[in-house]
Chain A
Amino acid sequence: MKIVAVTSCPTGIAHTYMAAEALEQAAKDAGHELKVETQGAAGAEPLPPEDIANADAVVFAADVEVRNRERFAGKPLVQTSVKRAINDAPGVLAEVETAAERGVTAAPATAGPAESVVADTAPAMATKVDQQAHLGVRLRGWLMTGVSYMIPFVAAGGILIALAFLLGGPEVANKVNGGTFEGVDYGQGVADLSKLVVQAGWAGLLFKIGATAFFMLVPILAGFIAYAMADRPGLVPGIVAGLLANEIGAGFLGGLVGGLLAGAIVMAIKRVKVPRGVAGIMPVVVIPLVSALVVGALMLVVVGQPIAAATEGLTNWLNGLSGTNAVVLGVLIGLMMAFDMGGPVNKVAYAFGLASLASGNLEVMAAVMAAGMTPPLGLALATVVRPKLFTGAERQAGEAAWLLGASFITEGAIPFAAADPIRVIPSLMLGSAVTGGLSMVFGSTSRAPHGGIWVIGLVGRPLLYLVAIVAGTLVTAVAVVVAKSIGRRVPAEAEPAVVPTGTATASR
C-alpha cells in the first residue's frame, strides 16, 4: 500500500521527526511504501504532488494544524497525535489499512465536495495557509482556496452563457429572465421551467444552466474561504454568508467579507472549551448553527442595510450627472463597472445604462458594455504576457476569460480580483475608465444591453468601439502586470514555522 504522512508538533524539533521515523519503520516492517512530510523547524520538504495523487491513504500525526491540508482532499485519512504515532506506529498503520479498504474519506476536512477540482488545481496553487505565518500571507492563502473552488463555476457558467448568446442571440437572456430587448417585451420570461425549451429554445436551456452555475459563484467563494480558515465547520456559515451576499446585492466583495467573517466566527467558537458531552455535537450541530446565525445576522443587518443605502445614494448621484460632460460620465461608469463586477456599484452603473437605453440615450449603454468587457479581457491578456505572475488556476481562468470578456460577462474577472483585490481591482478600474471614456468620445452607441462582441451589429460606430475596447484591454493588462510586479514578496521557501517559545515566557 502507498501511504503519505504529515507529522507536526508545537516546537518542531523533536516529536515531528520521531513520529516520522516511527511511521517509516513501522511501514517498512509491514511492507508499505510510506513517505513523510515533516512540518518541523528544519523546514518542510513538501510531498511531491504525484506521491499524494498515488497514495492509497493519508496519515496526519500532528498536534498543531497541518499546513496545506487541502492537498490531501478526497483521500482516506487517519488523524492522530504525534505521540500516538511514536508510541504505537504499527497500530496507526493498521487503522490506515482499514480506512483505505473502506475508502473512508469522511475524516475532517478531506472529501471536499469538489474533490476533482482540488486535485486539478491545488498542486499548482501553492497556497500557504500556514498557521504561524503573517496574517497577510494567511489571508492570501484563504482567498486563494476560495478562488480555486470558484474558478470552475466561473468557467463553466460563463462559457454556457456565452454559448447561449452565440446560439440564441443576446435576447435569450430576456426570453429566460424577462424584460425588453430591441423593443420586444418578453414579460416575466420563463415562469415555469418545464416550458423552458419551448419558450427560450435550447439556447435558453444553456443560459439557464449557466446562470445557475453563476448564482453559486459568491456562495462557493465565501464557503471555501471559510473552509480554508476553519475546515469543514466553516462551510455552512460561509455558504450562508455567500447566499446572503447574493440576496442583499453585495456582490463578490460582500461574499469575500462574509466568508472571512464566517471563518473567523467558527475559529472563535472552536476556542471555547465545552464539556465532553457537548463536544460530540459541536461540529455537526452547535458550530454550524451558532456561526450561521451570527454571520447571517451580520450580513443582513450590518452589511445589508448600508449597501442598500449606498446603492440608492449612488443611483441618485449618477442620475444627477446625466447632463454633464459625456466623457467624464463615461470614465465614471467605467470605474464603477470594474469596481466590484456584479456587486452593488457595478449594478448601479449597469442599471443607469439600462435606464438610459430605455430613454433613448444609446451612448451610455455602449460605454457600460465596453467597460464591462475589458476586465476579463485585460486579465486574459496579462496571463498570456506574464504567466509567471499568476497561479496555475488563474492561468486556466485566464483562458476562459477571453470568451467571457468578449461576451460582456464581467464576472470572468472575479477570480483574479478576489485573490488579490488590492492590486487587481484598481488596475481593472483604470482600464475600464479608459474604455468608458473613449467609447463616449467616439460617440459609439449600443441598442443591446448585453451580448458583448456578439451584438456588434447593434453597435453604432463599431470600429471605433472596438478601438476603445482594445485600448482598455491593453491598459488593464499593463496595469495588472505592473501592480503585481511591484510590492510583491517572493514567497519564503520552507520558512521555519514554529511556536515562538519566547512569547510564552513573556505572558507568565
Chain B
Amino acid sequence: MADLITPDLVDLDLTAVDRHQATRSLAERLQAAGRVTDLDGFLADVRAREAQMPTGIEGGIGIPHARSAHVTEPTLGFGRSAAGIDFGSDDGPADLIFLIAAPEGGGAEHMNILASLARRLIHASFKEALRTAPDPEAVVNLVKKEVLGQ
C-alpha cells in the first residue's frame, strides 16, 4: 500500500478564496501524484459530501473528504492557510485543511488508516505540531508517527 501522505501532497502556503478552490488546489496535487484519476469527478464527489453538511469543525479545521471511484489509494492531502478559509464552522475559518480521499471499494484496512487519522485530528497536540511544522517532510513524519505509529 502506498504511503498515506508524501511531501508533494503537502502545501504549507495554501491560498484560496473559498473552500472549493482550496479543495481543488489540494486535489490537483493528488492528481499529479496519480492518486486521483479524474479531478472533476473527484471534486464533484467531495462537493456532494460538503453539500450535505459543511465539514469544518471548531478549532480551525476543514476536512473536505469523499469516498470516490476516482481515487486509487487512501490519501491525505494537507494544506495550511495563514489567512484561513471558511469551511462552514461556527467559530470561523479553518487554517488546517485535510483533504481525505478514499477509494470507493476500499477494504477495512484502508478505512482503518483513515479512521485513525480522523481520531488524531481531535488532539490539540497534533494540531499544534502541524501548525508549527517547518516543512512538508516534517508534516509527513508527524502524520506517520501519530497515525501509523511509524
Contacts and interface: CB of A to CB of B under 8 A. Distances in A.
Nearest to B101: A13
Given A14-B114, A17-B119, A86-B57, A505 B65 contact: no
B29 interface: no
A11 B48 CA distance: 10
A501 B103 CA distance: 11
Contacts, number: 107
Nearest to B59: A87
A14 B122 contact: no
Given A21-B118, A502-B68, A504-B44, A15 B112 contact: no
A21 B147 CA distance: 13
B118 A41 contact: no
A11 B108 contact: no
A452 interface: no
A20 interface: yes
Contacts of A500: 104
Nearest to A505: B44
A501 B49 contact: yes
Contacts of B120: 21
Contacts of A508: 44, 48
Given A43-B111, A86-B58, A496-B111, A10 B52 contact: yes
Given A15-B55, A83-B57, A38 B115 contact: yes
Interface size class of B (residues with CB under 8 A): 35 or more
A501 B71 CA distance: 12
Contacts of A20: 119
A501 B68 contact: yes
Nearest to A26: B122
Contacts of B118: 13-18, 21
Contact of B65 (A11, A86, A494, A504): A11
B115 A42 contact: yes
A10 B49 contact: yes
User: Chain B at the A interface: mostly helix, strand, loop or mixed?
Assistant: mixed
Interface in A141-183: none
Contacts of B119: 17-18, 20-21
Interface string B19-32: 00000000000000
B134 to A, nearest CB: 26
Contacts of A83: 53, 57
A498 interface: yes
B9 interface: no
A423 B24 CA distance: 52
Given A17-B116, A25-B122, A501 B45 contact: yes
Interface in B60-116: 63, 65-69, 90, 100, 102, 104, 106, 108, 111-112, 114-116
A25 B90 CA distance: 22
A502 B102 contact: no
A18 B121 contact: yes
B5 to A, nearest CB: 15
B87 to A, nearest CB: 12
A123 to B, nearest CB: 24
Interface in A24-69: 25, 38, 40-43, 63
Contact of B58 (A10, A42, A87, A502): A87
B41 to A, nearest CB: 7
Nearest to B45: A501
Contact of B48 (A14, A41, A63, A505): A505
Nearest to A63: B53
A88 B66 CA distance: 24
A474 interface: no
Nearest to B74: A13
A505 B45 contact: yes
B122 A18 contact: yes
Nearest to A494: B108
Contacts of A43: 108, 111
A41 B44 CA distance: 20
Contact of B55 (A14, A17, A25, A87): A14
B31 to A, nearest CB: 17
Contacts of A21: 118-120, 122-123
A87 B92 CA distance: 13
A149 B102 CA distance: 40
A22 interface: yes
A82 B22 CA distance: 24
A10 B57 contact: no
A88 B59 CA distance: 11
Contact of A504 (B45, B102, B111, B122): B45
Given A13-B114, A18-B57, A83-B53, 13 more contacts: A13-B65, A14-B63, A15-B57, A16-B118, A17-B119, A21-B120, A41-B102, A41-B111, A63-B52, A501-B45, A505-B41, A508-B44, A508-B48
Nearest 8 A/B pairs, CB to CB: A504-B48, A42-B111, A17-B118, A21-B119, A501-B45, A87-B58, A505-B44, A17-B115
Interface of A: 10-18, 20-22, 25, 38, 40-43, 63, 83, 86-88, 494, 496, 498-502, 504-505, 508
10 contacts: A11-B65, A12-B67, A14-B118, A16-B118, A42-B112, A42-B114, A86-B57, A86-B122, A494-B108, A502-B104
